[in-house]
């Protein structure tokens, strides 16, 4: 891929031209129905670049900074954008997931908490999904902020089976918690002191709990 400003080559995975400093608009490439609608009132770039532009995508509204190309997504919008890609995935490509984790499109500098584009309160930072390599900034009331290239990386992560792997790990955690609860209930019943809040297991359940333990 070449820079749109100076035509210099941009390495795969990079979001910024090493020659002129221009950023590649990767995130909305392929979204032919993404339509810019001018300024988005009362929405400002968390990086201090001024007002955001409103982009209408399907039935969603995104805020995009014309300077750093970061994206502001309303609550639930990110999951809505990723859902169609997740529905097409049947297997997990762990090699590709490893590559995405080792070569993120945004390289972390010093950790800093940024203000929400809407309310100005500092957002929380959290890893989106297992092995996505993307740290999102999230405001509980107003959604998430993604730096340039991170939406594209999350789409690649989803197509590589990242969301599927997340579901599998979540199910495993639930199964482990259930087994632990059954073992604890069975042990307490043997001692004649069942924990408050846990139902007493029937004979079949006690046998299963002992087998799991």
Separation of alpha carbons 36 and 53, rounded Å: 7
Token pair belonging to 85: 């890609």
Instruction: Give me the sign of the Cα torsion angle 11, 14, 17, 22.
Output: positive
Mapping DSSP onto H, E and C, the string for 17-36 reads CCCCCCECCCCCCCCCCEEE
Quote the pLDDT of residue 196: 52
Other beta carbons less than 10 A from residue 90's beta carbon: 6
- Cβ–Cβ < 8 Å for 138, 78: no
Token pair belonging to 187: 């042990």
Digit-by-digit pLDDT tens for the chain (213 residues) are: 555 445 566 555 554 545 444 455 667 776 667 778 899 999 999 999 999 999 988 788 999 999 999 999 999 999 998 888 777 777 777 777 777 666 655 555 667 899 999 999 999 998 888 777 788 999 999 999 999 889 988 888 888 776 666 666 666 677 777 788 877 777 777 776 555 544 544 554 555 555 555
Cα–Cα separations (whole angstroms), residue 171 to 111, 148, 165, 167, 176: 31, 32, 10, 6, 9
Instruction: Give me the sign of the Cα torsion angle 20, 70, 109, 10.
Output: negative
Quote the pLDDT of residue 109: 62
Other beta carbons less than 10 A from residue 18's beta carbon: 11
Query: What pTM was estimated for this model as a whole?
Result: 0.65
Using DSSP's 3-state secondary structure scheme, residue 77 falls into: helix
Walk across the sheet containing 143-146 and list its strands: 34-44, 51-57, 60-64, 71-73, 143-146, 135-139, 124-127
Token pair belonging to 36: 């810019």
> Dihedral of the CA atoms 187, 191, 195, 199 (nearest 10)?
70
């Amino acid at each position: 891929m070449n820079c749109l400003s100076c035509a210099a080559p941009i390495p795969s995975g990079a979001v910024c031209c090493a020659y002129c400093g221009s950023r590649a608009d990767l995130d909305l490439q392929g979204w032919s129905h993404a339509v810019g609608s001018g300024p988005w009132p009362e929405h400002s770039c968390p990086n201090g670049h001024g007002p955001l532009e409103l982009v209408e995508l399907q039935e969603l509204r995104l805020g995009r900074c014309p300077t750093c190309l970061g994206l502001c997504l309303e609550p639930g919008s990110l999951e809505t954008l990723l859902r169609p890609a997740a529905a097409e995935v049947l297997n997990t490509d762990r090699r590709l997931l490893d590559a995405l984790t080792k070569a993120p499109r945004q390289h972390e500098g010093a950790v800093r908490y940024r203000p929400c584009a809407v309310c100005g309160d500092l957002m929380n930072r959290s890893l989106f999904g297992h092995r996505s390599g993307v740290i999102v900034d999230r405001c509980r009331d107003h959604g998430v902020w993604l730096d340039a290239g991170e939406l594209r990386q999350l789409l690649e992560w989803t197509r590589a089976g990242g969301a599927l792997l997340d579901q599998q790990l979540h199910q495993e955690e639930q199964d482990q918690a259930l087994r632990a609860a059954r073992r604890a209930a069975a042990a307490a019943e043997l001692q004649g002191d069942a924990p408050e809040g846990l139902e007493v297991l029937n004979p079949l359940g006690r046998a299963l709990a002992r087998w799991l333990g």
